[in-house]
Amino acid sequence: MKQEKLDILLDLLEHPENYTESQKDNLLTDSEVKEIYQQMVETREALDYKKSKEEMAMPSISEEWERLKKTKESEEQDHKEKTSSKIVPLWSPMRKVAAIAAVLVISGIAFAAIHLATHSHQEEVDNNKELVAERSDSTKQATAIANTAPSEKADSASTKKLPLVYENAELQAILTPIAQHFHLKVVYQNEASRHIRLYLQLTEGMGLDDIIELMNHFEKVNVRHEGETLIVE
């Protein structure tokens, strides 16, 4: 029975459009299904820990489970999974990784996939070059801000002209256009935080405070706004 529920859960995570709202409700309120989901998340943590000296920061299991229940797909289509007579092992590491990624994506939230691997000496040199270049850009931005008309600043009060979707993007690749849009500079107190990868989805009309609040929802992401600067701890 538990194997059957595992098969159904994996199929739901990969193909949510094949299930009706009623079928999704029944699965998401099943205690055994929730237990299987928790085991999948814990296994993912164990797998990723081997790849990094730091343990990967995963979202709260209980929180993500509740989010999944509240934000499931609205399409309704009757479909039953075709199963073969031969039982195929579904507990392989790659299948679990794909399933966990699918859970976090279909939950409709932006989540942080943290990759804090040890950087080589060459990467540290590159980071130093980026820091110098960014300081130069910040100086230019400060000059531009001083010459910006009030009407231009008013136009940048929301995300209307910003990219709205960032898929597996580094934090610095997300903050750079945001800082430029709001005429700010970015300071990283920890160089490793530049390389945190996020799946982030913004909506039109979001202000700077809304964006910061959304990003700070994730573990190991701490951004604050002080004056004309975004500070990343």
Q: Is residue 190 part of a domain?
A: yes
Query: Integer distance in angstroms from the first to the last C-alpha of the chain?
Result: 47
Q: Is residue 114 part of a domain?
A: no
Query: What span, in angstroms and rounded, lies between the C-alpha atoms of 225 and 218?
Result: 17
Mean pLDDT over 25-41 rounds to 79
Place of tokens 């209980």: 62
Domain membership of residue 10 as a residue range? 2-108
Q: What are phi and psi of 93, to 5 degrees?
A: -55, -40
pLDDT on residue 19? 85
10 in Cβ contact with 81 (< 8 Å): no
> What is the per-residue pLDDT across 100-156, written as a single tens digit (0 to 9) for each?
544 444 443 333 333 333 344 455 556 656 665 566 665 556 555 555 444 344 345
Which tokens sit at 161? 């002209």
pLDDT on residue 9? 75
pLDDT on residue 106? 42
| CB-based contacts of 134, cutoff 8 Å, min separation 6 | 185, 186
Domain boundary residue among 108, 130, 156?
A: 108
188 membership: H or E segment, kind and range: strand 185-188
pLDDT on residue 43? 73
Indicate if 61 and 135 belong to the same structural domain.
no
Q: Is residue 115 part of a domain?
A: no
pLDDT on residue 81? 56
Indicate if 59 and 91 belong to the same structural domain.
yes
Least confident of 18-27, 64-73, 157-166, 172-181: 64-73
Q: Is residue 60 part of a domain?
A: yes
Q: What is residue 148's DSSP assignment?
A: -
- Greatest mean pLDDT among 93-97, 158-162, 179-183 lies in 179-183
pLDDT band at 34 (very low <50, low <70, confident <90, very high): confident
Indicate if 221 and 125 belong to the same structural domain.
yes
- Reduced to 3 states (helix: H, G, I; strand: E, B; else coil), residue 138 is helix
Q: Is residue 113 part of a domain?
A: no
Domain boundary residue among 108, 137, 159?
A: 108
Indicate if 172 and 79 belong to the same structural domain.
no
Which tokens sit at 63? 């929180």
Query: What span, in angstroms and rounded, lies between the C-alpha atoms of 93 and 39?
Result: 12
Query: What span, in angstroms and rounded, lies between the C-alpha atoms of 181 and 159?
Result: 8
The long-range contacts involving 171-178, CB below 8 angstroms and separated by at least 24 positions, are 171/195, 171/196, 171/197, 171/198, 171/221, 171/232, 172/130, 174/198, 174/200, 174/215, 175/223, 175/230, 175/232, 178/208, 178/211, 178/230
222 in Cβ contact with 216 (< 8 Å): yes
- Give Cα 86 to chain centroid, integer Å: 36
| CB-based contacts of 177, cutoff 8 Å, min separation 6 | 162, 163
pLDDT on residue 89? 43
Which tokens sit at 79? 């479909």
C-alpha angle 130-132-133 in degrees, rounded to nearest 5: 65
Domain boundary residue among 108, 136, 170?
A: 108
pLDDT on residue 196? 92
Q: How many domains, the chain?
A: 2
